[in-house]
Amino acid sequence: MRVLVLKAPGTNCDLETADAFARLACTPDVVPIAELTAFPKRVHDYDIFVIPGGFSYGDDIAAGKVLALQLKHTLLDELLAFHDRGKFILGICNGFQALLKTGLLPGPSSSADAAPRVTLSYNDSGRFEDRWVRLRFDPAQNPLASALQAESLESLECPVAHAEGKVTVSSEADLHSLQDGRRLIIRYAHPDDPEFDAARSVLPYPHNPNGSHGNIAGFSDPSGRILGLMPHPERAARNYLHPLWPRCRAQELRFHAGLAFLKAVVAVAQGRFS
Amino acid sequence: MTWAIEVYLRPELYDPEKERVRETAAELHIATPAVTRYCRLYILEGAAGEETVAHVARVLLTDPVAEQFELYRLDGTRKKEASGDVAYVLFHPGVMDTVAQTCEAALSILDIEPHRVRTGRVYYFAEPVPASAREAVAYRVLANPAIEKVYWDRIDVSVFRAAPEYRFELVHVPLRAMDDEELMRVSREGLLSLTMEEMRALRDHYHALGRDPTDVELETFAQTWSEHCSHKTLKGPVHYVERNGRGQTVREINFRSLLKETIFAATETVRRLRGDHDICVRVFTDNAGIIRFTPEYHCCFKVETHNHPSAIEPYGGASTGLGGVIRDIMGCGLGAKPIAGTDVFCVGPLDYPPEQLPEGVLHPRRVLKGVVAGVRDYGNRMGIPTVSGAVLSEPEYLANPLVYCGCIGLMPAGAENKAPRSGDCIVVVGGRTGRDGIHGATFSSAALHDESAEVSGGAVQIGNPITQKRMLDALLLALEERLYTCITDCGAGGLSSAIGEMAADLGAEVWLERVPLKYSGLSYREIWISESQERMVIAIPEANWPKFHAICQQHGVEATVIGRFCGTGRLRLYYNNHQVADIDLRFLHKGCPVRTRRAEFRLAEPKELAPDGIEQYAQDQGKLAELLDRVLSDYNVCSKEWIIRQYDHEVQGATTVKPLVGVRQDGPSDAAVLFPILTPGRGLAVSCAINPRYGRLDPYWMAACAVDEAVRNCVAVGGDPNHIALLDNFCWGNTERPEQLGTLVRAALGCRDAAEAFLAPFISGKDSLHNEYRGKLNGQEIHLTVPPSLLISAVAVVPELNRCTTMDLKKPGHILVLVGETRVELGGSAFAAALGWHGGQVPRVDFQMAPRIMQAISEAIGRGYVAACHDVSEGGVLAAVAEMAVAGRLGAELWVPDNPFSDGADLTRAASAISWLFSETPSRFVLELAPEHLDSLAALLPRPELLQVVGRVVPPPRLLVQASSQGPILLEADVEQLREQWQRPMRW
């Protein structure tokens, strides 16, 4: 599996993202955006296209905005073709912001309606925050959901680190249309109460760290092969990065679940789930 | 045409900026109507018509879901639509506007012809703002006058006129004909900060040359000889006299160089004693100290201060402070990759009454919020985790806040050697040069006064971290291929310092007109001394230039050849073929007149060990509970989670022990540990220590305690005490006054003795010596001097992952052990501060025993005996155990030993108990152990009495303090309540 890790000016999670994929037996390349826009077809040398976290173009104007504009103007056709060939597009944090602003997410609606109107806006806390959260995945009918199931990954703990990560929809109808059963919906979850239904109830701060509507942390397009999420699975790819590791390192705990999550992405890109 | 676009959130969405305005106004007691609409403002100047501008607004500037915009021609006569007032905030001309730069670049992506973009902010108020309140609302709530201007109700477009073109004219300063008074006038009015002796030396120098200096020559001397760049006080001769309480001289030392004979000397001693195990690679010579880490990588560490700029513009000051120290790492050796940042802030009382602020002084809360935001935005955007720090709040910092920023980097082994060669090109890389920061170096070498903000507005800079991030990415690639021979950063003094230093043993000629400028109108003098951010200077052999240039282009980094190194021993500057300077480099670097400074210190008389009536806290549980509350909620002790979470302390995927640890990740870790991806299996612990409260009593013990605490913090998380390096940062008052220099000498002696005791070398340091303020408070003259503020930072190797240890309680049934001897040392303690008591003995380090304790703890951690480990510092054993319980969400019993003190102090039993709970004797740790490890731990210690079993971990989350394990209860408190007390003060 070849993984293209896109590096724009201000991208800063490229190395740990590449490192995580390398540990999944993939071959990651960190590619500067100038190189790619000069040769857009190069994207087809790869199986997974990742926009990692960071502050592309300083997040000036709005987070991911200028990177999205650049992608839209130079790479959109190739990226759509890339996706049509069954390949995977992943945006983490700033990458999610950029994917939303290119329109690659939320992607076409499954019904005849227009695509749901959704964006990422400023955290309710009013500031950048780095903290660990628990995530859960809604059941969905798409390859990514199946791959996660095959990994028996129902939940995931990893950090968020952003100022503009509040999933914001225009209306209840948009929220409803987003949760169409085909998209994978990743929600912030209650760390202590596994029964807590984040799809229906308001999850308090800081478990929902930014005030996202529907407690949504990330979602895929209906194909399950374009995925964006605010939290950072690549920062939970090693046991010792988990904050509770010093408390129970002797035990067999799945503190590196971020790696299992990315493994599911790789499995989908390999076409093992469809 | 000039267009204005106002972008605002849909009204039903929550707008944090409106909330910030409300909160700031309330904090400062400024009555202001509510903000009904907050807009980001974009001003476009160019040829585009309305349709094009609307397109730009739609696709570039506005979020289609969350935002709306309004577009109008900006002709200066726009009528208010709001019923209340409207305030427009715009940058002063020439201030860095990063968003505007990005917009201009984005227009080219949209295939729109170039436009000049400006950005600003607009605030619509619900009602008119009374004329009397406008100034306060504008410049204390909405904007900072150092960088911004507020227009009420309409923007004055006349400010957009382009700056006039610069017309070359060579300026000479007729120094030779000047008398002393005129010399000093030139120094003062030119903001040169040169002393009388220095001005005279320059006059004599040019007299001998038979000509007058040019303005740019004089500036070059002022920059190079400034305290900020040359550190002439600490590197120079000092005559030190120490007197006892009766005024009799007890010690006299003549230093030929204070630093060389204290801190550098300690490092030499340590290196010699460590022999084959010496960890130093390059110390005190480069931009940062360099130590061995792995066979492939060295570690480098530097901490800088940026106090004066932060006092005037906290956000810009702190962000450029961090940006600058990151460049120190990028320019250390042939370059290193920054892997972590540190920050320490000293500010005035956070609850200070706003009405009583001296003139020209920002409120401490505003300062702290600004400096945190500055570090946050720079560090996060650069992708460098800020992992360690401290905040101190003391009255003397009111007008002189201190901002320390540090950076750690990894450097490929071998890259520590650098030197330019004759014939190499001088290349400036990164940001463009503007008027920003002119006279930063000389400004920081003078005291602040109430007009500092106006006089030195040019010294304020705003950083652009993305420019620096691009430069970093390009330079790391160029480093891999070893394309250049030397590199240094452009910090204080700008090109004049960077090139002056690089050329010191060689010579250089520089063509100033080639330096890329942000805007026209700069004179050759301004180009040479500008302190614009994000620039570095490299020396590159001509043959490598094309390849280097190609790498830069690929990363969108500007790089320009502006001169050449040559073996002339002279620094020659040209502007369009006119020679504007010709300086003898030897005189520049060696010609600064040396002056012996006087230093005096008077030892304090011994004070009472404990305050009167201390027994009451042992007799009344409520009183002790209330006292503990005050200690835990002391701003110097309380939780800094509000700050830590705003920093991306986990970027780069290496932060193994995080700054906040425990069940809920809210306990204060003693140090952070990083296991970088580049160096698998080997980590670095990073810590810091600073305690000006001890400094007020005795700077010698303050220094020794700070070294002890920095080492202790690293050891507590698993660091190896045999592989630890120290940094010193002195922030002092005006050391031209002998009593100020005296306290500094005392502190330097403490550093020396402690470093030698721990065999921990100092590898780098910096000083800032004019942290004084003269101004007015309610019409009265006031003079504020910072207390002795020595920051010690430490980095230690963590040889394996499994050594990582945290401070949160882990398991009921475990025992709590205090290691290290306790003396009645309450002077300068959090306990003393809580009582407003000024007596007590300052904590002292036992130089024989302390290093052996560190070794024993390290050994115990390595053998896996230690479940939790916490250093005992501010607040003593009681605060340490309370923090451990909070972090672990478990209960603890704490038993005051029957004979708690090693020094057999003459106190009642009750006074002893309370003193023991709060004493801040250094070199102590609280350990949580499984009971079966107790004997093995004891066997590691040099003396059995260094270990006392002082309690145990229990399941119910309550802290129980008893006089001995069966004795009466002194205190019972819910862990939840302790957490609340500890977190409440800074839950902002």
Across the range B934-951, mean pLDDT stands at 96
Q: Which amino acid is at B508?
A: A
A54: which DSSP letter?
B
Tokens of B450: 């109430």
CB contact under 8 A, B661 and A12: no
Sheet hosting strand B425-430, strand order edge to edge: B486-489, B535-540, B425-430, B559-565, B508-511, B570-575, B578-584
Confidence of residue B450 (pLDDT cuts 50, 70, 90): low
Q: B106 CA to chain A: closest CA distance, Å?
A: 6
Return the pLDDT at B162.
65
B interface test, pick of A17, A101, A247 with most B CB neighbours within 10 Å? A247
pTM of the model: 0.95
pLDDT classification of B457: cutoffs 50, 70, 90: very low
Q: Which residues of A touch B102 (CB under 8 A)?
A: 57-58, 60-61, 66
Count residue pairs from A and B with Cβ separation < 8 A: 164
Q: What is the pLDDT at residue B453? A: 47
Strands B724-731 and B762-768: parallel
pLDDT bin (cut points 50, 70, 90) of residue B456 is very low
Report CB contact under 8 Å: B556, A34: yes
B950 to chain A, closest Cα gap in Å: 22
Q: Is residue B55 among the annotated active site residues?
A: no
List chain A residues with CB under 8 Å of B63: 62, 65, 101, 119, 121
CA distances from B569 to B214, B223, B487, B506, B580 (A): 19, 19, 19, 5, 17
- Between B368 and B458, the more confident residue is B368
Find chain B residues with C-beta within 8 A of A126's C-beta. 16, 19-20
Mean pLDDT, chain B, rounded, equals 93
| Confidence tier at B519 by pLDDT (50, 70, 90) | confident
Asked if the peptide bond before residue A106 counts as cis, ω within 30 degrees of 0, the response is yes
- Is B306 catalytic? The answer is yes
Torsion, Cα of B161, B150, B15, B10 (10° steps): -50
pLDDT score of B158: 76
Of B64, B109, B653, the CB nearest to A73: B109
Count of C-beta atoms within a 10 Å radius of residue A144: 27
Question: Across the interface, do B653 and A16 touch by the CB < 8 Å criterion?
Answer: yes
Whether residue A270 is predicted with pLDDT greater than 70 in this model: the reply is yes
Helix runs in B130-212, H state only: 131-136, 180-189, 196-209
| Residues ≥6 apart with Cβ < 8 Å to B594 | B232, B236, B237
Domain boundary assignment for chain A: 2-269
Q: Which two tokens stand for residue A188?
A: 């912030």
Can you say whether the dihedral through the CA atoms of B335, B336, B337, B339 is positive or negative?
Answer: negative
Percent over 90 (pLDDT), chain B: 83
Measure Cα distances from A179 to A100, A113, A142, A222, B277 in Å: 16, 13, 13, 10, 62
> Which among B9, B109, B554 has CB closest to A34?
B554
* Alpha-carbon gap: B75 to the closest alpha carbon of chain A (Å): 24
Are B318 and B310 contacting, i.e. CB atoms less than 8 angstroms apart?
yes
Q: First-to-last CA distance in chain A?
A: 17
Assign a CATH topology to domain A2-269.
Answer: Rossmann fold (3.40.50)
pLDDT, position B454: 45
B700 sits in which H/E element: helix B699-716
Specify the DSSP element, H or E, that contains B859: helix B849-862
The closest CB to that of A19, out of B382, B646, B653, belongs to: B653
Please name which of B919, B931, B805 lies closest in space to residue B872, comparing C-alpha atoms: B919
pLDDT of B759 higher than 80: yes
Q: Which of B115, B228, B231, B770 is catalytic?
A: B228
pLDDT tens per residue across span A104-140:
999 876 555 677 899 999 999 999 999 999 999 999 9
Question: Is residue B339 within 8 Å of B300, Cβ to Cβ?
Answer: no
pLDDT digits (tens, 9 = 90+) for A153-196: 999 999 999 999 999 999 999 999 999 889 999 999 999 999 99
- Single out the catalytic residue among B306, B439, B770, B814: B306
Question: What residues in A contact B646, CB-CB < 8 Å?
Answer: 127-130
Nearest Cα neighbor of B557 from B520, B609, B516, B514 is B516
What is the average pLDDT value for chain A, to the nearest integer?
Answer: 94
pLDDT in tens, B29-83: 898 999 999 999 999 998 889 999 999 999 999 998 999 999 999 875 565 566 7
- Positions of A annotated as catalytic residues are 93, 232, 234
**pLDDT, position B470:** 95
Best of B473, B476, B675, B801 to substitute, by most chain A Cβ atoms within 10 angstroms, is B473
At a CB cut-off of 8 Å and minimum separation 6, what does B706 contact?
A: B689, B690, B691, B790, B791, B792
CA distance to B256, B303, B797, B914, per residue, from B909 (Å): 51, 45, 43, 9
The pair of three-digit structure tokens given for residue B268, joined into one six-digit string: 């030499």
Q: What pLDDT digit, counting tens, does each position of B689-736 carry? A: 999 999 999 999 999 999 999 999 999 999 999 999 999 999 999 999
